[in-house]
Amino acid sequence: MAGERGEGGEVLPLPLSRSSSRGGVGGRGMRGRWIMFRKRRERWLVVLGVVLHAIYMLSIFDIYFKTPIVHGMDPVEPRINPPAKRLVLLIADGLRADKFFEPDAKGEYRALFLRNIMKTKGRWGISHARPPTESRPGHVAIIAGFYEDPSAVTKGWKANPVEFDSVFNRSHHSFAFGSPDIVPIFCSALPHSSWRVYPHEFEDFATDASFLDVWSFDQFQSLVNGSKDDPVINQLLHQDKVVIFLHLLGCDTNGHAHKPYSSIYLNNIKVVDDIAESTYKLVEDLFKDNATAYIFTADHGMSDKGSHGDGHPSNTETPLVAWGAGIRGPRTSYIKHRSSNNFRFVDEHTHDMPTPIEWGLRDVERVDVNQADIAPLMSTLLGLPCPMNSVGNLPLEFVDMNEEDEAEAALANAKQVLHQFRRKSQIKQSHSLSFKPFKPLENSTSVVNEIEDLISQKDYEAAVRLSQSLRTLSLAGLHYFQTYDWMMLMTTITLGYVGWMVYIVMHVLKWYTYLQEKYSLTKNLAILMDQRDTKVYIFGTLLMGIFSILLLVERAPPLYHAYLAVTVFLWTQIFNDFQFIKAAWSTLISSESKCLLKLCGTCAVSILILEFLVASFSERRLYTLFFLTAGPCGAFYIMKSFRAYIGAPIFIWASCWILSLFTMFPADIPENTTLVITSGAIVVFIALVSRWFNSSVVAQKYCSSICTERKQSNGSKNLFIAQAFLVLLSSLMVSLSTSHRTQNRELLALHQVINWVLAGLGMVLPLFSVNTLLSRLSSVFLGFAPAFLLLSIGYEAVFYGALGLVLMSWILVESAILSLSSKAAPTHNDNIELKLNLYRRDDERYLQLSDMRVPLCFLVLFNVAFFGTGNFASIASFEISSVYRFITIFSPFLMAGLLVFKLFIPFMLVICVFSAITKLMRLPRLGCYFLVIVFSDVMTIHFFFLVRNTGSWMEIGNTISHFGIMSAQVVFVLLLFALTNVYTKNIEISSPHYSSHKVL
C-alpha cells in the first residue's frame, strides 16, 4: 500500500522503508542533501539573527543615545568685567551630600572649614546630578556644562568619542592633579595645561584611599613651591583666566570598598575638608590679591551599599560650596531672591526642598543647582565664553556682580545655547528633503534684539527673565532636533522585528513540524533549494534602492541604511516564500475546530506568560506569586505519574516555595559572610541528595529516563569528593579573604591565586563526570559553585542552591510528562506515530503545540536567574565588592568581566538543564532555540514601545536598558548555548518509549 488512512480518512505517507532511508542510494542521498541544506540554512539564519539584533540594538543610540554635541558654532564672549582672575575647582569624587553636611555621632560636624565658609564667606547648596551618576558623566557636566555624551557608554565613559569644549579649553592655562581616569579626559589633548596623575595601582580597594587626596594636594603644593625658582611656572600661575583643578578620589574608592557609613569614608570627609583649607591658604599666600574664586563640589554620591549609577538621592545629591572673588556672601534663609516657579531639577527633585534640621544650616540660604550649571558659573567668574555645548543655566544667586553684568552674563549664556540650536537646525535643513522647523524659535533673532534693547533701557530684570526664557526654548529646540528622525526609525525597527519573528516562525513550521510532510517531501529538493520568485526579488531590490537614494540625498548616517536594508530584506524573503505561507494557511483552516482552539489557547497562554515577564522587569516580586502558584500545580500534576512516590510532589512544591522567597528580598544585597560560607555546605548537601536520588531504587523505578546509574563507580565517587572539597575550600577562602578586607589588610597574592585556581578547576571537573543526565547536571552544579561563592557577598549564594532545586523539579516534571506519554503511546499505524518519526533523525522528533511549554519554562527560569537576587537591569545593582576576593586593584574591565561572569553562572545552569530536557524529550534543540528567540523578540518589541523620552532620566534609562537586555538576549543565549554544549553534548538518555520507535 502507498499509505494508510489517518483520522478523517486522509491518506498519509508512510516513513521510508529501511532500504530507502538507510541503505538505498536515492533515499540516503536525498536525506543527506536535505540535512546539509537545513544545516547551511540554519547557520545562515543564526548569523542573520545576531547581525539583525546587533544592528537594531544600535538603534537606541540613534534614537535616545544620539550625541548632543554639535560643532561649528562660535563662542559667545560675555561683555562683562570678570570678577576673578583665577578659579580653584575641588571635586571630591563620590561624596554624598548628607554625609558631608550632617554631624557625626558626637554631634560634631566633619567639614569644619567649609562649614565656616558657608556661614561667613560664600554660598552653598545641593548640586543635582543626572543619572547615570558615574565619574566621567559627572565631571563632564561640571566642567563642560552638558550631560554626558551618551555615545561614550560604548567606551565605558573613559575615552572621548566626540571632542567637546570645556572651561579648561577656554582658560589661558589649566593645572590639574588627580586620577588617571578623569584628568586626561580634559587635559590630555590640551596644549595649555599642566597635569599629573598617579598610577592605576594606587587605587587599591583593600586600603584607606584618602592618601590619593593627599597626593593631589601634595602635587599642587610642589608646583607652587617650585614656581618660586621656575619663572615659567610662576608666569603661568600669575596670568589671568587660570583654572586649578584638584581631583580627590578618596571618598569614591573608600565608599566602594568600605561603604559610605564606615569610619574610613567619614574620616575621608575630614581629609577633604583639610585639603580645601590648605589649598585656600596656599593660594591666598601665593597671590595675595583676593582675586581667586573657589568651588567645591562632587561628581556623584554613594549609595549605602557602596555603589552609584542610578537616580537615588544618595547618588544624585552632592554638596556645592562657592566662595571668593565674584561669589556672593551668605544670606539669611528667609530672604527669597527669586521665585522657583515649581522648577524641577534634572533628578526630578523639586526646588526649595527643606534643609534637614540636623544639618544646622536652616538659617543660611540654600541655593540648589543642576550639575551642568556649574560650568557657566565658572566661565562667568573668569569672564570666559561658556563651553560651546553647555546647556547649563547661570545661577545668578551665586555671582556678585552689578545688575548690568548679570543681564549680560545671562544673555551670553542664552546665546550659547541658541547657537547650538541654530547649528542643529541648519544641519538638519541642509540634509532634509522636507524640513520641518521648530516654530517657537522662528523669530529668535528678534528676541535677542529685544533683550539687547532691554539692557540698553536698563531694564535688567526683564532682560534676565527673557534671556532665561530664550534659553529654555532653545533647549526645547535642541530636543526637537535630537528626536527629529524618531518616527521613521521606530517604524522601520518595528517592521524589522515583526518580519524577523514571522520569518523564524515560518522556518520552525517548515523544518521542525509535521508540515514538512505536506510541503517539503512533496516537492523536489532541488527545486526547493533553488526557489526564487523573480518578481518579488526585483521589487525588493527596487524598494531598497529607492530608500537608499533618499537616505543618501538626506545624508543619513550609515546605520539608517542598515536598518532599512535589513527590514526590506526580511520582508522580501517572507514574500518569496508565499507558496509555503499559502500551504500552511490551507492546512490551518482545514484543521479540526479542536486543533484550532488548542492553537489559540496555546498562543494566548504564551502571550500571557510573556507579558508577565515584561511586567517582572519593573516588579520582580511577581516571581514570588508565580512560584507560589507553580509549586502546588507542579506537585499535583506529577502525582499522576508518581502516585506511589509522595516524595517527588513534596520536593517540587517545597523547592518552588523556597525560590519564591528570594524575589521578596531587597535588591541591595546586604553583606553576610556567614550566609555565604553556610551556602557552601548547602550546595554540597543538595548535590549529595541528588547523587543518592540518582542511584536509589525508588528513583530508578519512576525516573528511569534520568536516573540510570545504579552502581556508582569509584571514579564517580572520587570526582564527587573532589568537587565537594573545592566547594568547601571556597567557603573557607570566602571567610579568609573577607577577614583580611574587614581588617583593612591587603589581600595576599597567594589568596588571590588560590581563589582563581578554585574557580577555574571547579569548572573543568564536570567534563570528567559520568554522562548520564542527572550525574552530569549534578556535577555541573557543583562545578560552578566555587566561582559563584567566591563572587557572592550575601543571600545570592543561597539563591544558587534554591535555583538548583527548582531546575531539578523541572526535570522531574518533564520526566513525568514523558512517562505519561509513554503509557499512552500510539500504535505504529497511528497518525501521531508518523509525525514523530517521519524524516527526522533517530534522536529527535517533530515539535508539537504542547512542546511550547519547554521554551516558555526556559524563559521564565532564565529571567528568574536574572532577577532572583536583584534588579540587574539597573546600573547600580552591580556590587563591586563581589570581586574583591579575586582583585583589589582598580581594573574596570576585569572587574566588570567578573561581575558579568557571576551573572552568567545561573544562566549557564538553566541552559544546561534546558539542553538536557530537549535530549530527554527528543526535541530538536535548535528548533527550541528559535522558539526562545521568537518569544524573546515579542518581549523586545514590547520594551521598544515602552521606551520613554520624557520623565526622569532614571525612568528613561531603565526602559532603554530593558530594551537593550532583551535585544542582546539572542546573542548571549546563543553564546551560552555554545559554552554549555561542552557540558551537555555527550549526555546519554535511555528511554524505552523511543527505543520502540527506532525499531519501527
Higher per-residue pLDDT: 6 or 821: 821
- pLDDT per position as a tens digit, 639-657: 776 665 677 888 899 999 9
Evaluate if residue 387 carries a pLDDT over 60: yes
Distance CA 888, CA 212 (A): 16
Range with the largest mean pLDDT of 218-222, 590-594, 960-964: 218-222
Higher per-residue pLDDT: 714 or 500: 500
**Amino acid found at 242:** V
Q: What are the grid coordinates assigned to 961, written together?
A: 536598558
Least confident of 145-154, 181-190, 836-845: 836-845
User: Which residues sit opposite 317 in a β-bridge?
Assistant: 128
Distance CA 65, CA 48 (A): 24
Task: Report the pLDDT value the prediction gives residue 501, as an integer from 0 to 100.
Answer: 94
Least confident of 247-261, 323-337, 616-630: 323-337
| Res. 986 pLDDT band, cuts 50 70 90 | confident
Alpha carbon distances (Å) from 905 to 608, 693, 782: 28, 24, 12
**Percent of the chain scoring above 70 in pLDDT:** 82
| Res. 953 pLDDT band, cuts 50 70 90 | low
Judge residue 841's burial from the number of C-beta atoms within 10 Å of its C-beta, 0-12 exposed, 13-18 middle, 19 or more buried: exposed
Distance CA 822, CA 818 (A): 6
Contact 380, 78 (CB under 8 A): yes
**Percent of the chain scoring above 90 in pLDDT:** 43
| Res. 666 pLDDT band, cuts 50 70 90 | confident
Sheet holding 292-297: strands in order across?
193-197, 173-178, 242-248, 86-92, 292-297, 317-324, 123-128, 369-370
Chain Cα centroid distance, residue 200: 25
Distance CA 608, CA 579 (A): 31
Chain Cα centroid distance, residue 231: 51
Evaluate if residue 745 carries a pLDDT over 70: no
Sketch the domain layout of the chain as residue ranges: 86-148+162-333+359-400, 407-483, 600-614+621-822+838-923
Task: Report the pLDDT value the prediction gives residue 241, as an integer from 0 to 100.
Answer: 95
Evaluate if residue 950 carries a pLDDT over 70: no
| Res. 152 pLDDT band, cuts 50 70 90 | low
Contact 845, 839 (CB under 8 A): no
Judge residue 554's burial from the number of C-beta atoms within 10 Å of its C-beta, 0-12 exposed, 13-18 middle, 19 or more buried: middle
Distance CA 247, CA 95 (A): 12
| Res. 134 pLDDT band, cuts 50 70 90 | confident
Element (H, E) at 372: none
Distance CA 455, CA 408 (A): 8
Residue-by-residue DSSP string for 573-604: HHHHTHHHHHHHHHHHHTS-HHHHHHHHHHHH
Contact 271, 64 (CB under 8 A): no
- The length of the chain is 1000
Contact 607, 941 (CB under 8 A): no
Dihedral of CA atoms 179, 185, 189, 191 in degrees, nearest 10, equals -60
Distance CA 303, CA 99 (A): 11
C-beta neighbour count of 719 within 10 angstroms: 19
Top-level class of domain 86-148+162-333+359-400: alpha beta
Task: Report the pLDDT value the prediction gives residue 409, as an integer from 0 to 100.
Answer: 95
Peptide bond into 354 cis (omega under 30): no
Mean pLDDT on 122-144: 91
Dihedral of CA atoms 978, 984, 986, 989 in degrees, nearest 10, equals -140
| Res. 715 pLDDT band, cuts 50 70 90 | confident
Task: Report the pLDDT value the prediction gives residue 747, as an integer from 0 to 100.
Answer: 67
| Res. 342 pLDDT band, cuts 50 70 90 | low
Evaluate if residue 25 carries a pLDDT over 70: no
Q: What is the DSSP secondary structure assignment for residue 1000, as one 8-state letter?
A: -
Mean pLDDT on 699-706: 59
| Res. 206 pLDDT band, cuts 50 70 90 | confident
Average pLDDT across the chain, whole number: 82
Q: What are the grid coordinates assigned to 286, written together?
A: 601665593
- pLDDT per position as a tens digit, 170-187: 999 999 999 998 999 999
Ramachandran angles phi, psi of 123, nearest 5°: -120, 155
Evaluate if residue 301 carries a pLDDT over 80: yes
Q: What are the grid coordinates assigned to 162, written together?
A: 566626540
- pLDDT per position as a tens digit, 561-574: 999 999 999 999 89
Evaluate if residue 799 carries a pLDDT over 60: yes
Distance CA 787, CA 897 (A): 13
Task: Report the pLDDT value the prediction gives residue 523, as an integer from 0 to 100.
Answer: 47
Contact 144, 387 (CB under 8 A): yes
| Res. 881 pLDDT band, cuts 50 70 90 | low
Indicate the pTM of the whole model.
Answer: 0.70
SS3 86: strand
Evaluate if residue 322 carries a pLDDT over 90: yes
Residue-by-residue DSSP string for 487-546: HHHHHHHHHHHHHHHHHHHHHHHHHHSTHHHHTTTTS-HHHHHT---HHHHHHHHHHHHH
SS3 757: helix
SS3 701: helix
Task: Report the pLDDT value the prediction gives residue 65, as an integer from 0 to 100.
Answer: 66
Evaluate if residue 920 carries a pLDDT over 90: no
Distance CA 408, CA 386 (A): 13
Q: Is 752 left (phi over 0), alpha (psi -120 to 50) or beta?
A: alpha
Shortest CA distance to 942 belongs to which of 607, 571, 601, 483? 607
Chain Cα centroid distance, residue 584: 39
Higher per-residue pLDDT: 194 or 531: 194
- pLDDT per position as a tens digit, 42-93: 888 888 988 898 888 888 778 776 777 788 888 999 999 999 999 999 999 9
Ramachandran angles phi, psi of 622, nearest 5°: -60, -30
Contact 964, 57 (CB under 8 A): yes
Which residues are CB-neighbours of 963 under 8 A, at least 6 positions away?
Answer: 60, 940, 943, 944, 946, 947
Distance CA 928, CA 512 (A): 9
Task: Report the pLDDT value the prediction gives residue 645, as an integer from 0 to 100.
Answer: 66
- pLDDT per position as a tens digit, 756-781: 999 999 999 999 888 888 888 999 99
